[in-house]
Structure formats: C-alpha cells, structure tokens
Amino acid sequence: MGLMRSDYRRIPARKVDAWVVGVDLGKSIDNTAIGIIHHTVKGTDDWVVNDAAGVWRERSLQRFDLLHLKRLPLGMNYVSQAHAIGELMHREPLRSVGAKLVIDQSGVGAGVVDLMEANGLRPIRLQITAGAEQSRDGNVHRVAKTILISKLEAAMHSKELHVAAELTEAESLRDELRDFQRHVTASGTNTWSARAGKHDDIVLAVSYGIWWATSGPRTHQEELRI
C-alpha cells in the first residue's frame, strides 16, 4: 500500500542571504561603476506535491535588492580605485557577511586586477567573451556577454530586481537600460552594446552581481525555485 500524501517528506526552500559587489572597471575615458546587490531567497510556506517522488517542496521567493550604485570619478588612477573599493568592502554589512567581489578584467587586463589583489582585495575575476557559453579557469570566469545580460533581463522581467529609490544613480541605470541594444550578427549570434556615445558601465556592474548570485559556484546546488 502506497504512502499517503500526509506521510510524504517535506523539503523546505533553500534559504539564501548573500551580498555581491559587481565592479566594471573603466579605462581612461570611462568611469568605473560599482553595484551592490543583496540576494535573498525565502520560503513562502506554499507547498507543491510530487507524487512520483513522494515529497512536498516549498515554493520560494527570490529578490535582488540593488542597494548601492555609484561611479568613481573619471580619471581616478587604479591604485586609488583599489583603495576606494577596499574601503567599501570593509564597510558593514559587507565585511561581516563575507560579500563577494566580482570584477571584470576584460577591458583593462589582468594586471589591473593583480593590483587590486596586491591592495588586499580578493576579487572573483570575470572575463567577458563572445558566443553563448561560460567556463572557468582557476579564479577566472569566462562568461559570454549574452549570459550576463540575459540574467539581468530575467531578474527585471520577473520583478525580482528591486532598485532602492534613494540611489542617486538609479536614473542613470534606467537611461543605460534604454540605450542598451541587442544586435544579431551575420552568424546569428546575439551581441549587446550601448548605442554610440552612450555608456553601459552601470548596467554591466549590476549584471555581474546577478550573474554571480544565480550562476556562480555556490555551496548549495539545489534549484532556487520550483
């Protein structure tokens, strides 16, 4: 005689409470942009039955709260930038919760991120690539730009991304999103870029945090939602 549903094992939602700092390093004519995301996943006490597996699974609610967004002054040298980012990482709650720092080294090269490490930071290195795949070589994560932007788009469309109203750069983020365009190459590959003369540094910094929260190596491997 089979189990009654009341006897099925209950699997609660996997809770997440993590902070990620995304940094898009600017070159000489571009600002460095920083975005801080608080990623949470909580149970909803709404349960879905799986008779084949004999379990109940709790649905979950995911949020990406964008709580800090800024551009460093244009022309700031990389030593000063490293100090500024280091100071930010030592603020609470980032310091206590062990926030992850994700830095793109694509445009400036690995040497600049080496400098960041020499100043006491422990960044996760991101290398943006073409195509539609991602891979890892040590601490360097090679990720297609289309993956980064699709993660950001998904969080926006699902209304999981929440931008703090008091952020002074919130309007800049909205402007960049309006100017960010998808292009299809002759081979059918999707590429993304800002319109001519426009910036995409803030959009990218935010996308790094969302990408790491959803795709980076985590201590839990279960699906966040069902």
Q: For 161-214, how does the pLDDT look when each residue is reduced to its tens digit (9 = 90+)?
A: 999 988 888 887 887 777 666 555 555 555 555 444 456 889 999 999 999 999
pLDDT at 74 over 70: yes
The Cα 81–Cα 76 span in angstroms is: 7
Q: Which residues pair with 49 in a beta bridge?
A: 56
State the angle between helix axes of 145-157 and 201-215 in degrees (0 to 180), rounded to the nearest 10. Answer: 80
Higher-confidence position of 197 and 93: 93
CATH 3.30.420.240 fits 11-214, yes or no: yes
Say what the pTM is. Answer: 0.84
| Predicted pLDDT of residue 223 | 41
The domain spans of the chain are 11-214
Tokens describing residue 180: 């960010």
For 78, left (φ over 0), alpha (ψ -120 to 50), or beta? alpha
| Predicted pLDDT of residue 109 | 82
| Predicted pLDDT of residue 142 | 94
Lowest mean per-residue pLDDT among 24-33, 54-63, 81-90, 176-185? 176-185
Tokens describing residue 90: 């030592």
> Could you tell me whether strands 140-144 and 100-104 are parallel, antiparallel, or unpaired per DSSP bridges?
unpaired
Q: What's the average model confidence in pLDDT over 16-39?
A: 92
Composition of the chain by helix, strand, coil, percent to 5: 30, 35, 35
Q: What is the mean pLDDT of the chain?
A: 86
Lowest mean per-residue pLDDT among 21-25, 150-154, 212-216, 218-222? 218-222
Q: Determine contact, residues 32/71, Cβ cutoff 8 Å.
A: yes
